[in-house]
Amino acid sequence: MPFLKRPPTSPPLSTLLDIKSQKCGLRHTVFSASGNEYTGEWQNNKKHGKGNQVWKKSGAIYNGEWKFGKRDGYGTYSILLPESKKYVKKYCGEWTDGKKHGYGTYFYKNSSVYEGEWSEDQRSGWGRIYYANGDIYEGKWLRDKNHGEGIFIFSNGNRYEGSWREGKKDGRGKFYYCDKGQLYEGLWVDGVPKCGTLSDFGRDGAPMPAKYQIPKVHLIDTQLVLREAESAYLGRF
Protein backbone atom coordinates (compact mmCIF):
# COMPACT_ATOMS: atom_id res chain seq x y z
CA MET A 1 0.00 0.00 0.00
CA PRO A 2 1.56 3.31 -1.05
CA PHE A 3 2.47 5.82 1.65
CA LEU A 4 0.75 9.18 1.12
CA LYS A 5 2.57 12.19 2.50
CA ARG A 6 0.29 14.24 4.69
CA PRO A 7 0.13 17.93 3.87
CA PRO A 8 1.73 20.24 6.46
CA THR A 9 -0.66 21.45 9.14
CA SER A 10 1.27 24.63 9.91
CA PRO A 11 1.57 27.58 7.49
CA PRO A 12 4.82 28.01 5.56
CA LEU A 13 7.73 29.87 7.13
CA SER A 14 7.23 32.93 4.89
CA THR A 15 3.66 33.30 6.19
CA LEU A 16 4.79 32.95 9.80
CA LEU A 17 7.46 35.62 9.34
CA ASP A 18 4.93 37.95 7.73
CA ILE A 19 2.51 37.46 10.65
CA LYS A 20 5.32 37.99 13.15
CA SER A 21 6.36 41.22 11.49
CA GLN A 22 2.86 42.69 11.82
CA LYS A 23 2.94 45.15 14.69
CA CYS A 24 0.13 44.68 17.19
CA GLY A 25 -0.09 45.48 20.90
CA LEU A 26 2.61 47.20 22.94
CA ARG A 27 5.98 47.52 21.18
CA HIS A 28 9.35 48.96 21.98
CA THR A 29 10.67 51.80 19.83
CA VAL A 30 10.14 51.28 16.10
CA PHE A 31 12.13 53.35 13.60
CA SER A 32 10.69 54.31 10.21
CA ALA A 33 12.73 54.65 7.01
CA SER A 34 12.78 58.45 7.48
CA GLY A 35 14.31 58.12 10.94
CA ASN A 36 11.16 58.96 12.91
CA GLU A 37 10.70 56.83 16.00
CA TYR A 38 7.54 55.62 17.71
CA THR A 39 7.14 53.88 21.04
CA GLY A 40 3.73 52.62 22.05
CA GLU A 41 0.73 50.56 21.11
CA TRP A 42 -0.19 49.14 17.68
CA GLN A 43 -3.14 47.48 16.04
CA ASN A 44 -3.08 45.82 12.62
CA ASN A 45 0.31 47.34 11.87
CA LYS A 46 -0.87 50.89 12.68
CA LYS A 47 -0.26 53.14 15.67
CA HIS A 48 -3.32 52.64 17.83
CA GLY A 49 -3.71 53.40 21.51
CA LYS A 50 -1.20 55.39 23.55
CA GLY A 51 2.21 56.20 22.14
CA ASN A 52 5.08 58.62 21.75
CA GLN A 53 6.27 59.84 18.31
CA VAL A 54 9.52 61.72 17.64
CA TRP A 55 10.09 63.33 14.24
CA LYS A 56 13.76 63.21 13.27
CA LYS A 57 13.82 66.24 10.94
CA SER A 58 12.13 68.76 13.25
CA GLY A 59 12.72 67.08 16.59
CA ALA A 60 9.04 67.56 17.44
CA ILE A 61 7.35 65.16 19.86
CA TYR A 62 3.77 63.99 20.19
CA ASN A 63 2.72 62.08 23.26
CA GLY A 64 -0.83 60.86 23.50
CA GLU A 65 -3.54 58.78 21.89
CA TRP A 66 -3.60 57.33 18.37
CA LYS A 67 -6.26 55.75 16.22
CA PHE A 68 -5.47 53.74 13.08
CA GLY A 69 -2.16 55.52 12.50
CA LYS A 70 -3.28 59.10 13.24
CA ARG A 71 -3.31 61.32 16.31
CA ASP A 72 -6.77 60.88 17.75
CA GLY A 73 -7.95 61.52 21.30
CA TYR A 74 -6.01 63.51 23.89
CA GLY A 75 -2.36 64.39 23.30
CA THR A 76 0.43 66.93 23.65
CA TYR A 77 2.57 68.25 20.78
CA SER A 78 5.92 69.87 21.62
CA ILE A 79 8.66 71.35 19.46
CA LEU A 80 12.42 71.55 19.92
CA LEU A 81 13.98 75.02 20.05
CA PRO A 82 17.20 74.84 17.98
CA GLU A 83 18.94 77.58 19.97
CA SER A 84 18.44 76.22 23.47
CA LYS A 85 17.79 72.55 22.57
CA LYS A 86 14.83 72.67 24.95
CA TYR A 87 11.32 71.46 24.29
CA VAL A 88 8.35 73.83 24.50
CA LYS A 89 4.72 72.81 24.47
CA LYS A 90 2.77 73.97 21.39
CA TYR A 91 -0.61 72.26 21.73
CA CYS A 92 -2.26 70.28 24.47
CA GLY A 93 -5.75 68.93 23.93
CA GLU A 94 -8.02 66.88 21.73
CA TRP A 95 -7.29 65.51 18.25
CA THR A 96 -9.37 63.83 15.56
CA ASP A 97 -8.02 62.19 12.42
CA GLY A 98 -4.58 63.76 12.91
CA LYS A 99 -5.87 67.33 13.37
CA LYS A 100 -6.57 69.59 16.34
CA HIS A 101 -10.27 69.04 16.94
CA GLY A 102 -12.27 69.52 20.12
CA TYR A 103 -11.02 71.45 23.15
CA GLY A 104 -7.37 72.38 23.47
CA THR A 105 -4.76 74.99 24.34
CA TYR A 106 -2.28 76.38 21.80
CA PHE A 107 0.89 78.29 22.72
CA TYR A 108 2.06 80.76 20.07
CA LYS A 109 5.65 81.77 19.39
CA ASN A 110 4.97 85.38 20.45
CA SER A 111 3.68 84.21 23.87
CA SER A 112 -0.01 84.54 22.98
CA VAL A 113 -2.16 81.66 24.29
CA TYR A 114 -5.46 80.37 22.92
CA GLU A 115 -7.71 78.03 24.87
CA GLY A 116 -10.96 76.78 23.46
CA GLU A 117 -12.57 74.78 20.72
CA TRP A 118 -10.99 73.61 17.45
CA SER A 119 -12.31 72.16 14.21
CA GLU A 120 -9.91 70.53 11.72
CA ASP A 121 -6.84 72.49 12.89
CA GLN A 122 -8.70 75.83 13.06
CA ARG A 123 -10.11 77.79 15.97
CA SER A 124 -13.87 77.32 15.70
CA GLY A 125 -16.56 77.47 18.38
CA TRP A 126 -16.01 79.13 21.76
CA GLY A 127 -12.53 80.24 22.72
CA ARG A 128 -10.41 82.72 24.64
CA ILE A 129 -7.08 84.16 23.53
CA TYR A 130 -4.57 86.07 25.63
CA TYR A 131 -2.43 88.25 23.36
CA ALA A 132 1.18 89.03 24.16
CA ASN A 133 0.39 92.79 24.43
CA GLY A 134 -2.21 92.20 27.15
CA ASP A 135 -5.36 92.24 25.00
CA ILE A 136 -7.95 89.47 25.57
CA TYR A 137 -10.71 88.16 23.32
CA GLU A 138 -13.37 85.76 24.53
CA GLY A 139 -16.23 84.54 22.41
CA LYS A 140 -17.12 82.75 19.20
CA TRP A 141 -14.69 81.76 16.43
CA LEU A 142 -15.06 80.43 12.91
CA ARG A 143 -12.18 79.27 10.70
CA ASP A 144 -9.53 80.98 12.86
CA LYS A 145 -11.35 84.35 13.05
CA ASN A 146 -13.56 86.11 15.61
CA HIS A 147 -17.07 85.38 14.35
CA GLY A 148 -20.30 85.68 16.31
CA GLU A 149 -20.79 87.18 19.75
CA GLY A 150 -17.65 88.09 21.67
CA ILE A 151 -15.90 90.46 24.06
CA PHE A 152 -12.56 92.11 23.29
CA ILE A 153 -10.77 93.68 26.25
CA PHE A 154 -7.89 95.97 25.37
CA SER A 155 -4.80 96.26 27.54
CA ASN A 156 -5.72 99.89 28.40
CA GLY A 157 -9.09 98.78 29.84
CA ASN A 158 -11.29 99.69 26.87
CA ARG A 159 -13.58 96.91 25.67
CA TYR A 160 -15.98 95.96 22.91
CA GLU A 161 -18.99 93.73 23.50
CA GLY A 162 -21.02 92.60 20.54
CA SER A 163 -21.08 90.92 17.18
CA TRP A 164 -18.12 89.94 15.00
CA ARG A 165 -17.81 88.83 11.41
CA GLU A 166 -14.63 87.32 9.91
CA GLY A 167 -12.38 88.94 12.49
CA LYS A 168 -13.97 92.42 12.46
CA LYS A 169 -16.56 94.18 14.59
CA ASP A 170 -19.71 93.78 12.54
CA GLY A 171 -23.33 94.07 13.68
CA ARG A 172 -24.65 95.52 16.90
CA GLY A 173 -22.21 96.24 19.67
CA LYS A 174 -21.05 98.43 22.52
CA PHE A 175 -17.61 100.01 22.80
CA TYR A 176 -16.63 101.18 26.28
CA TYR A 177 -13.99 103.91 26.14
CA CYS A 178 -13.06 103.46 29.80
CA ASP A 179 -10.01 105.69 29.46
CA LYS A 180 -12.20 108.60 28.30
CA GLY A 181 -15.41 107.75 30.16
CA GLN A 182 -17.55 107.33 27.05
CA LEU A 183 -19.78 104.61 25.57
CA TYR A 184 -20.71 104.01 21.94
CA GLU A 185 -23.76 101.83 21.24
CA GLY A 186 -24.79 101.05 17.72
CA LEU A 187 -24.14 99.33 14.44
CA TRP A 188 -20.72 98.34 13.08
CA VAL A 189 -19.84 97.37 9.52
CA ASP A 190 -16.45 95.89 8.59
CA GLY A 191 -14.90 97.13 11.84
CA VAL A 192 -16.23 100.69 11.45
CA PRO A 193 -19.01 102.24 13.57
CA LYS A 194 -21.73 103.40 11.18
CA CYS A 195 -24.63 104.65 13.24
CA GLY A 196 -25.33 104.76 16.95
CA THR A 197 -25.16 106.90 20.07
CA LEU A 198 -22.14 108.20 21.97
CA SER A 199 -22.69 109.09 25.60
CA ASP A 200 -20.75 109.78 28.79
CA PHE A 201 -20.18 106.63 30.83
CA GLY A 202 -18.06 106.49 33.99
CA ARG A 203 -16.58 109.88 33.18
CA ASP A 204 -15.80 110.72 36.81
CA GLY A 205 -13.55 107.68 37.22
CA ALA A 206 -11.89 107.83 33.79
CA PRO A 207 -8.09 108.39 33.80
CA MET A 208 -8.21 110.67 30.75
CA PRO A 209 -11.75 112.06 30.48
CA ALA A 210 -12.71 114.08 27.42
CA LYS A 211 -12.44 117.83 27.90
CA TYR A 212 -16.16 118.44 27.39
CA GLN A 213 -19.18 116.37 28.25
CA ILE A 214 -21.27 115.09 25.39
CA PRO A 215 -24.34 117.33 25.05
CA LYS A 216 -27.77 115.70 25.10
CA VAL A 217 -29.58 115.68 21.77
CA HIS A 218 -33.32 116.23 22.07
CA LEU A 219 -35.28 114.34 19.43
CA ILE A 220 -38.95 113.51 19.35
CA ASP A 221 -38.16 109.85 18.56
CA THR A 222 -34.47 108.94 18.91
CA GLN A 223 -35.04 105.27 18.14
CA LEU A 224 -36.85 106.09 14.90
CA VAL A 225 -33.90 108.15 13.72
CA LEU A 226 -31.51 105.29 14.52
CA ARG A 227 -33.71 102.71 12.80
CA GLU A 228 -33.86 104.78 9.64
CA ALA A 229 -30.08 105.22 9.67
CA GLU A 230 -29.50 101.50 10.26
CA SER A 231 -31.90 100.40 7.51
CA ALA A 232 -29.24 101.19 4.90
CA TYR A 233 -26.97 98.47 6.38
CA LEU A 234 -29.32 95.89 7.88
CA GLY A 235 -30.01 94.23 4.55
CA ARG A 236 -26.53 92.67 4.58
CA PHE A 237 -27.01 90.81 7.89
pLDDT digits (tens, 9 = 90+) for 137-192: 999 999 999 999 999 999 999 999 999 999 999 999 999 998 888 899 999 999 99
CA dihedral sign of residues 118, 123, 128, 129: positive
Whether the CB-CB separation of 157 and 141 falls below 8 Å is answered with no
Domains and CATH numbers, the chain: 110-228 (2.20.110.10)
User: Taking the complete model, does pTM exceed 0.85, yes or no?
Assistant: no
In 3D, which of 43, 44, 39 has the Cα closest to residue 28? Answer: 39
Contacts of 100 (CB under 8 A, 6+ apart): 91, 93, 94, 106, 118, 120, 121
Distances (CA, A) of 80 to 88, 90, 175, 178: 7, 10, 41, 42
Residue range 110-135, pLDDT digits in tens: 899 999 999 999 999 999 999 999 99
Q: CA-to-CA distance for 172 and 195, rounded, in angstroms?
A: 10
